[in-house]
């Protein structure tokens, strides 16, 4: 399990400022939600932690190791994307195994991990199907399964439920909370949905205009908003 620390992190895309002076300590096992409107920098922050975006200024450490000494492939964090990002020509089992071959996990261990993740996510019956033969909800389970089998130090979720219908979104949200209880792993979860943030988070980090507007427990930010923006954003329905 990873502790993740950002200190004075900033980022520009060309002349456009995207992240300004973000400092944040995420404890091992904590479920932190990045909540904010579209364009506030949530995904960019997540991608920097994953190593998919560079950092212009400041420092990022994962388990005490500075990011410049950690190539993306060595961070052992698992990202789950909104659009699932499954390989269409591979079966579910092959999709789940794919990332493990690169990190040299033995074939029998790969089999055990896939079986265990499939059991947790109740997708055992789908292992030989291809993504085109799955519903959206089933695809997202496979994407989560592909993350679980990596046994990552941290899970990074980028709006994982936003392509699901409301009922499935609510159910999957509960299942993700149960998954966090079960695995006790560090999770960072990006969303613009206040209900998701309130129900999932140990701590909510509210982003607005490239910077942290407030962070605290769901009760804290709801009951004691630090600004008019937080009061309006947290208090109003998605
Ligand atoms: P959020 O996840 O909160 O919607 P993003 O992190 O995706 O926000 O984007 C923050 C800002 O950075 C937006 O203004 C977006 O247009 C810009 N941005 C994101 N990725 C790129 C990129 N690769 N090149 C240029 N601008 C980008």
- The closest-lying atom of ligand 1 relative to the alpha carbon of residue 190 is 2
- The closest-lying atom of ligand 1 relative to the alpha carbon of residue 44 is 6
Predicted local confidence at residue 104, as pLDDT: 79
ipTM of model: 0.97
Residue 17 CA neighbour count, 13 Å, CB half: 11
- CA 139–ligand 1 middle distance (angstroms): 25
Predicted local confidence at residue 201, as pLDDT: 96
Q: Tell me the three state secondary structure of residue 170.
A: helix
Give CA angle at 46 (59, 205), nearest 5°.
Answer: 85
CA distance 3 to 167: 33
pLDDT in tens, 67-104: 988 887 788 899 998 888 899 999 999 999 998 877 77
**Residue with the nearest Cα to atom 23 of ligand 1?**
13
How many CB atoms are located within 10 Å of the residue 142 CB? 25
Q: Tell me the three state secondary structure of residue 110.
A: helix
Pocket residues for ligand 1 (CB within 6 Å)? 13, 16, 18, 36, 38-44
- CA 41–ligand 1 middle distance (angstroms): 6
Predicted local confidence at residue 165, as pLDDT: 86
- The closest-lying atom of ligand 1 relative to the alpha carbon of residue 34 is 3
Cα distances from 72 to residues 52, 146, 162, in angstroms, run: 7, 17, 26
Predicted local confidence at residue 72, as pLDDT: 79
- CA 193–ligand 1 middle distance (angstroms): 18
> DSSP labels for 39-97?
TSSHHHHHHHHHTSS--SEEEEEETTEEGGGS-GGGS-EEEE-TT----TTS-HHHHHH
Predicted local confidence at residue 236, as pLDDT: 64
pLDDT tens, position by position, for the chain (238 residues)? 679 999 999 999 999 999 999 999 999 999 999 999 999 999 999 999 999 999 999 999 999 999 988 887 788 899 998 888 899 999 999 999 998 877 778 888 999 999 999 998 889 999 999 999 999 889 999 999 999 999 999 999 999 988 888 888 888 899 899 999 988 999 999 999 999 999 999 999 999 999 999 999 999 999 999 999 999 988 765 5
Predicted local confidence at residue 100, as pLDDT: 86
């Amino acid at each position: 399990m990873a502790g993740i620390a950002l200190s004075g992190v900033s980022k520009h895309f060309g002349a456009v400022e995207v992240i300004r002076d973000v400092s944040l300590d995420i404890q091992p096992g904590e479920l932190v939600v990045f909540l904010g409107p579209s364009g506030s920098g949530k995904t960019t922050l997540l991608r920097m932690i994953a190593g998919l975006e560079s950092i212009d200024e400041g420092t990022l450490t994962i388990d005490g190791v500075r990011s410049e000494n950690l190539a993306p492939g060595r961070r052992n964090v698992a990202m789950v994307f909104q659009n699932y990002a499954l390989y269409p020509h591979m079966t579910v089992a092959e999709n789940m195994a794919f990332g493990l071959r690169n990190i040299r996990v033995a074939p029998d261990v790969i089999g055990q991990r896939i079986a265990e993740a499939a059991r947790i996510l109740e997708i055992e019956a789908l292992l030989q199907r291809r993504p085109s033969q799955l519903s959206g909800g089933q695809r997202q389970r496979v994407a989560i399964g592909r993350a679980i089998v990596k046994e990552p130090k941290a899970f990074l979720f980028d709006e994982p439920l936003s392509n699901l219908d409301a009922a499935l979104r609510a159910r999957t949200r509960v299942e993700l909370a149960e998954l966090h209880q079960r695995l006790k792993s560090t999770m960072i979860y990006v969303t613009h949905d206040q209900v998701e943030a309130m129900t999932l988070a140990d701590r909510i980090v509210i982003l607005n205009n490239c910077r942290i507007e407030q962070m605290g427990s769901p009760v804290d930010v709801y009951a004691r908003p630090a600004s008019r923006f937080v009061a309006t954003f947290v208090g109003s329905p998605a």
